[in-house]
C-alpha cells in the first residue's frame, strides 16, 4: 500500500477523534439553542471555567486568593489539602448548576422576549464576565489537568495497524476515551430527553414556549435545567480539552471552533452536532495534509469556517436543521 494513502488514513482517524472533541463543545450549544433559542456564545468559556474550577478544587486552591491578597495584604494560596477527583467532579457540577441558577436569575429572566441578537450579545457579555471571574478566582496561569484518564500513544491501535499495513498509526488514547465518553453522553442525553418527565418538558419547551407554559411547565425551571446540562457538557468538554492541552485561556476559543460544526450540523440537531464535528475534524486534517505543502501550514485556523461558508450557500439550514420557513 502506498505511504501517502496510509498517512491519509492516519490523518482521517486523527480527524475523527479531533472531530469528537469539537462535537463535545457543539453539543452544549445545541442544547441551549433548542431549549431557549439562545445562541450561547459563552459555552467555550463555560468549559474553561469548569475546567479551572475542577483543577482548583483538586489542588485545594483558595478561590479569589489573588484578589484577597491584593486587597488585604495577606498571603493565602492553598488550603493545604488535595481533593480526590471523584469528589472534585461532583463539586464542580454543583458549581455549574449554581452558575445556571445565577444566569437564569440575573440575566435570562430580565431578557425574556428580547430579540435574539440582544440575547446573543448578552451571552458574549457573560463570556467576558466568566472569563474574568475564572481568572480572578483561580489565577490565569496554565494549569495541568489530570483526572486519571490515560494519555499517550495507544499501543493497541499501533500494534493492530502495524500488523495490517506494516505501519503503526499514532492515535492518542485520550481521544479514544473522549469518543467513548461523548457516545455515553449522547446516549444519556437521549435517554433523559425521551424517557423522563423533565426531559419531555424540555422537549415541549423547545417545541413551543407558549404552549408549554399553558400546560403548566415552568419555563424558568426548564431554563435552569438546560443551562445546568449545558454546564455539565461544558465540564466534560473542559476535562477532555484540559487533559489534552492544559487548562488555559485558549480553551475558551474552542467555542469559535464549534461554530462551523453547528452550521454544518444545524443548530437544533444533536446527531447533527456529532456528525458536523466529525466532518469538520476529518476535513480539516485531510485538507491540511494535502494542501499544506502547497499553500503553507496552519490551515486549521480557517478551513472549518470556509467549509461552513461554502456549505451555507447550498444548504442554509445545515445537514439536519429544521427547514427555514419565512413569512412576512
Chain positions contacting another protein, by CB under 8 A: 39, 66-67, 70-71, 106-107, 110-111, 114, 116-118, 120-122, 124-133, 135-136, 140, 256, 259-260, 262-263, 267, 295-296, 298-299, 301-302, 305-306, 308-309, 312-313, 316, 326-328
To the nearest whole angstrom, how small is the minimum distance from the Cβ of residue 285 to another protein?
17
To the nearest whole angstrom, how small is the minimum distance from the Cβ of residue 159 to another protein?
38
To the nearest whole angstrom, how small is the minimum distance from the Cβ of residue 100 to another protein?
16
What's the CA gap between 313 and 136, in Å, rounded?
A: 43
The residue (of 197 and 323) whose beta carbon lies closer to another protein is 323
3-state SS class at 212: helix
For helices 270-295 and 254-265, angle between their N-to-C axes, nearest 10 degrees: 110
To the nearest whole angstrom, how small is the minimum distance from the Cβ of residue 287 to another protein?
13
The residue (of 132 and 155) whose beta carbon lies closer to another protein is 132
To the nearest whole angstrom, how small is the minimum distance from the Cβ of residue 64 to another protein?
10
For helices 3-36 and 173-195, angle between their N-to-C axes, nearest 10 degrees: 30
Of 137, 107, 133, the closest CA to residue 122 belongs to 107
CB atoms within 10 A of CB 62: 17
The residue (of 7 and 129) whose beta carbon lies closer to another protein is 129
What's the CA gap between 207 and 35, in Å, rounded?
A: 8
- Whether the CB-CB separation of 169 and 158 falls below 8 Å is answered with yes
CA angle 170, 176, 178 (to 5 degrees): 135
The residue (of 242 and 260) whose beta carbon lies closer to another protein is 260
What's the CA gap between 288 and 224, in Å, rounded?
A: 41
The residue (of 179 and 263) whose beta carbon lies closer to another protein is 263
To the nearest whole angstrom, how small is the minimum distance from the Cβ of residue 248 to another protein?
14
Copy the grid coordinates of residue 51: 475546567
With cell 422537549, the residue in question is 203
The residue (of 142 and 187) whose beta carbon lies closer to another protein is 142
The residue (of 67 and 191) whose beta carbon lies closer to another protein is 67
What's the CA gap between 257 and 22, in Å, rounded?
A: 7
To the nearest whole angstrom, how small is the minimum distance from the Cβ of residue 160 to another protein?
37
The DSSP call for residue 127 is H
3-state SS class at 19: helix
Amino acid at each position: 500500500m502506498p505511504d501517502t494513502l496510509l498517512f491519509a488514513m492516519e490523518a482521517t482517524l486523527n480527524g475523527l477523534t479531533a472531530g469528537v472533541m469539537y462535537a463535545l463543545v457543539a453539543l452544549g450549544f445545541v442544547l441551549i439553542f433548542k431549549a431557549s433559542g439562545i445562541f450561547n456564545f459563552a459555552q467555550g468559556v463555560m468549559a474553561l471555567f469548569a475546567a479551572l474550577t475542577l483543577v482548583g478544587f483538586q489542588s485545594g486552591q483558595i478561590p479569589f486568593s489573588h484578589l484577597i491578597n491584593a486587597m488585604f495584604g495577606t498571603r493565602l494560596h492553598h488550603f493545604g489539602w488535595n481533593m480526590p477527583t471523584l469528589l472534585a467532579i461532583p463539586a464542580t457540577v454543583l458549581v455549574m448548576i449554581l452558575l445556571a441558577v445565577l444566569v437564569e436569575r440575573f440575566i435570562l429572566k430580565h431578557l425574556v422576549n428580547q430579540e435574539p441578537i440582544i440575547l446573543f450579545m448578552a451571552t458574549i457579555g457573560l463570556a467576558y464576565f466568566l472569563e474574568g471571574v475564572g481568572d480572578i478566582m483561580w489565577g490565569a496561569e496554565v494549569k495541568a489537568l489530570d483526572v486519571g484518564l490515560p494519555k499517550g500513544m495507544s499501543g493497541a491501535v499501533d500494534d493492530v495497524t502495524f500488523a495490517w499495513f506494516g505501519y503503526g498509526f499514532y492515535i492518542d488514547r485520550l481521544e479514544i476515551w473522549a469518543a467513548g465518553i461523548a457516545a455515553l453522553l449522547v446516549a444519556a442525553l437521549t435517554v433523559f430527553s425521551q424517557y423522563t418527565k423533565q426531559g419531555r418538558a424540555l422537549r415541549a419547551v423547545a417545541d413551543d414556549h407558549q404552549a408549554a407554559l399553558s400546560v403548566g411547565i415552568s419555563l424558568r425551571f426548564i431554563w435552569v435545567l438546560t443551562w445546568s446540562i449545558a454546564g455539565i457538557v461544558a465540564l466534560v468538554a473542559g476535562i477532555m480539552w484540559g487533559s489534552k492541552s492544559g487548562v488555559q485561556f485558549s480553551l475558551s476559543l474552542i467555542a469559535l471552533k464549534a461554530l462551523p460544526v453547528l452550521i454544518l450540523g444545524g443548530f437544533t440537531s444533536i446527531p447533527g452536532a456529532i456528525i458536523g464535528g466529525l466532518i469538520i475534524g476529518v476535513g480539516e486534517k485531510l485538507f491540511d495534509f494535502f494542501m499544506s505543502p502547497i499553500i503553507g501550514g496552519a490551515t486549521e485556523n480557517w478551513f472549518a469556517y470556509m467549509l461552513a461558508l461554502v456549505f451555507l450557500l447550498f444548504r442554509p439550514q445545515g445537514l439536519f436543521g429544521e427547514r427555514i420557513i419565512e413569512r412576512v
